[in-house]
Amino acid sequence: MKRNLGVDLHVLTARLDRAADRILRAEHNISYSRFLALTLVGRLGISTQRALAECLGVTEPSVSRMTGVLAADGLLDVQPDPAGGNRRRLSLTDDGKQLVASVQTGFEERLAALAAHSGVPYDQYAEQTSRLLETFERLEQERTK
């Protein structure tokens, strides 16, 4: 049977997401989707709920609910946008930064071990994945111009 990269990538991502969710809930009492939101806010710097919704591929109301929970947990700071309107600015609290940093290290180690166990060189896999993401983002930007 012929391999289908699109399907294989989807299945791999879904399995990694479920495994990450199990690990994070057990070890840090946070869901993977909330951890991912914190990671993206940290990567994007101070951002808006709209930008976060776009990155996560979810609706703004969904992000609004999620950011409310993360703020109540002391991991995210949510402030009105100085430009006005109904927009909210997001930034990680010190606790949020600490959580992202500590979890990220453990995740990278687990992914490196999985890659090593499969015989795939981790550095090469990470480089190729980065190239694919950069190309995808560039093509998306060109398409929207």
Contact 46, 89 (CB under 8 A): yes
What residues does each domain of the chain span?
A: 5-143
Mean pLDDT of 15-32: 92
pLDDT digits (tens, 9 = 90+) for 100-134: 999 988 888 988 898 889 999 989 989 999 999 89
d(CA 110, CA 104): 10
User: With 90 as the cut, is the pLDDT of residue 82 above it?
Assistant: no
Please compute the mean of the pLDDT values over residues 43-71 and round it to a whole number.
90
Least confident of 3-7, 34-38, 45-49: 45-49
Q: Is the domain defined by 5-143 classed in CATH 3.40.630.30?
A: no
Q: DSSP secondary-structure letter at 63?
A: H
61-73 mean pLDDT: 95
pLDDT (average), residues 37-59: 89
